Amino acid sequence: MLIDTMNLNLLRVFECVFRNKSMTKAAEELHMTQSGVSQNIKHLEEILQVRLFDRVKQRPVATDRAKTLYKSCSKNLYGLEEALVELTGEDRVIKGQITIGLPIEYGNNVILPLLAKWGGSHPEVAFKIRYGHASEMNQQLLKGELDFAFVDSYGLDKEITTEKVADEILTLCASKGYLKSKGPQSFSKKYFEGLEYIDYVEETPILKSWFGHHLKIENFTGVVRASLMDVDGMSRMIVAGLGAGILPLHVVNRLKSQGQQLHLFKGSGKPLTNSISVAYLKGRTRATAVNSTLEYLMENLQKR
């Protein structure tokens, strides 16, 4: 058999280089030198008599034959690892670096506390966090730069699988002092168009969604005093009385628990929600540390 002529470590190195798309990152994960990783790949290519990676701008670019090998190699290596652990009865040591994409507010307030607790129980697991919007996460997942990501409502590529983990209730709110300065309140288009607003992104898509959902107003036009891509920054401006804005209900409740005087516009009918989902590349083999961490997060998020 061909496998009799090679060291299985060569396949382990190959799997790591392919998954990381980098000799340097593979060397860091395997605790090897970069030259050692490169020599192992060269030796494997010599044994198989095929080119597995083209070198483009000093980066390894997988060939079609490498892609074929990886599909089988990664699945069977991780399967063999699981079998050996089960056979020997040893406690499985979960280790490795996990790269996770997060939206800032939900990530900081919900996911990071869970990761901190998980990391405390697994000292050999390291986390690399990347913040961004769903559109950014979409591209990074497709490139294999993220193991998984948490995203809000967004049309992701068909190769990406999503599982909903939560619904955030989106609430229009303002400081009571700000509303007092605007005179008597009413639930009308004229009243709301007389307010100033703090919004998350330009062109006010979230504000338009709220008014369309609750007042059936299309193309709502209000005076936007500030647009910033950070919920914490928005909440600070709203509390300071610069204008009204849309915040997740759990953020509003946190602010109120801190003594902030906020008014919540109840709207009409069902609340407007923003779905949060975990997203990962369909068909990509995940390391044990990634699977275990994701299982832990999903289990705890379902309890919320």
Q: How do residues 250-296 score in pLDDT, each as one tens digit? A: 889 889 999 999 999 987 778 888 889 999 987 676 777 888 899 89
pLDDT digits (tens, 9 = 90+) for 196-253: 999 887 777 888 888 888 888 777 778 899 988 788 889 999 999 999 999 988 889 8
Q: What CATH number labels 2-88?
A: 1.10.10.10
The angle that helices 249-257 and 231-239 make with each other, rounded to 10 degrees, is: 50
For residue 243, which of 170, 181, 186 has the smallest C-alpha distance?
181
How far is residue 19's CA from residue 28's CA, in Å, rounded to a whole number?
Answer: 13
CATH number for the segment(s) 96-167+276-301: 3.40.190.10
Q: Provide CB contacts within 8 A for 252, sequence distance 6+.
A: 171, 173, 262, 264
**pTM beyond 0.85, yes or no:** no
Q: What is the CATH number of domain 168-272?
A: 3.40.190.10
- Domain spans in the chain, listed from the N-terminal domain onward: 2-88, 96-167+276-301, 168-272
Residue 151 near residue 262, CB atoms below 8 Å: no
